[in-house]
Amino acid sequence: SHGDYYCQICFLLVSLFILQVCKADEKFNQLLHFLRSHKQEQHLVFFSTCTCVEYYRKALEVLMKSVKIVCIHGKMKYDLHAN
């Protein structure tokens, strides 16, 4: 898939103003560890492209089944009347 090749994981983990910095090949595992360690909190995770948002949303939904994953990006169509 294009997601693997084109997506450079570029994310910012913000929780009480903490920025997590790690090597590129460790980022996704660090993200999983962080999210699993802070399940009771809400987080924003930023990715570099809309494709990355979709790719990692799917991966997180599979790997973190008990957590609600919501994604937003500029190419999405929004239903302004949805609850």
Alpha carbons 7 and 4: distance in angstroms, whole number? 6
**pLDDT digit string, tens, across residues 28-83:** 898 898 889 888 888 888 888 888 889 999 999 999 988 888 888 888 776 655 65
At CA 56, angle to CA 78 and CA 9, rounded to 5? 115
Check pLDDT > 50 for residue 2: no
Q: What is the pLDDT of residue 3?
A: 46
What is the pLDDT, as a whole number, of residue 68? 86
Residue 55 CB neighbours (<10 A)? 19
Instruction: Report which of residues 39 and 14 the model is more confident about.
Output: 39
Query: How far, in Å, CA of 83 to CA of 33, rounded?
Result: 31
pLDDT at 62: 94
